[in-house]
Amino acid sequence: MKVIFAGTSPFAVPSLEKLIASAHEVLAVITQPDKPRGRGRQMQFSPVKEVGLAHGISIMQPENIGSPESLDEIKGYGQIGALVVVAYGQKITPELLELPKYGVVNVHGSILPKYRGAAPIQHAIIAGETQTGVTTMLMDEGWDTGDMLLQKTLDIFPDENAGELSVRLAMLGADLLADTLDGLESGSISPIPQDNELATLARSLSRDAGEIYWKHSAHDIVNLVHGCTPRPGAFTKLNGTIIKVWSASVADSDGRLGEPGEIIEVNSGGIKAACGSGSVHLREVQAESRQRMSAADFARGIGLDSGCRLG
């Protein structure tokens, strides 16, 4: 099958690499325009563009994929079997939806119709899910509302954060995408409408979404830390200074209680803080303008002791 691939983030890379290695032909790669990044604000390519260039594939970087110029360029490739969209970052226009023979195929990081939206992996962990997966679907004019094609599930590891889970789901999605295109071409896949009554939303997380509220339960706080790592990042405050929390775990109960946010103990394992119910062990933290480090080293460096208050 002749395909055009649209993607930008690292999540899309395994899918593109899988297609390049398959019997399908990738005619072009569409990705977001280059953007300045880092302290030097140097222009950097997206991970998807890097892969496309390495394989000598034509690259498109339209500001608006639905513009007349972009549509003309895509139509210039002739009849395509599918436009594959994986973590691309732009809305696919109605005219684009009608171009491919088999439709616009999307790889989504959840078991639809749960967690429609831009941040399904983060929201699944924050909600305390123990299982998630990947869905391929035919895109329509809604947000992740199209008919489903194939699904695969996997278990979420107890201490897994969103970045780690994203890597595993990206690999799973690449395999599922290859099976999906094969099935569409052979006619062995029948699209299945989503049940809108079961749908939940997973909107993009703002920076403030990672703020820890110590009145919440220990389990909810740890899920928030895992779900917001590495982005947008979970954080709390200590004496007015923002402390980013990279790793945390539910602490074993030893009978010692405190007010929410109160530091119960500082030891070689980190910083133990009281919650609305239970307590949390902060394992790895990062203060403003400082390096990421173990919570034990951080506490030792500033002379932190029990009785201090977070939040």
Q: Output the tens digit of pLDDT for each of the chain's 311 residues.
A: 999 999 999 999 999 999 999 999 999 999 999 988 777 778 899 999 999 999 999 999 999 999 999 999 999 999 999 999 999 999 999 999 999 999 999 999 999 999 999 999 999 999 999 999 999 999 999 999 999 999 999 999 999 999 999 999 999 999 999 999 999 999 999 999 999 999 999 999 999 999 999 999 999 999 999 999 999 999 999 999 999 999 999 998 766 679 999 999 999 889 999 999 999 999 999 999 899 999 999 999 999 999 999 99
Please give the structure tokens belonging to residue 89: 């970052």
In the chain, CATH 3.40.50.170 sits at 2-198
- CATH 3.10.25.10 residue ranges of the chain are 207-302
What is the CATH number assigned to the segment(s) 207-302?
3.10.25.10
* pTM of this structure: 0.95
Q: What is the CATH number of domain 2-198?
A: 3.40.50.170
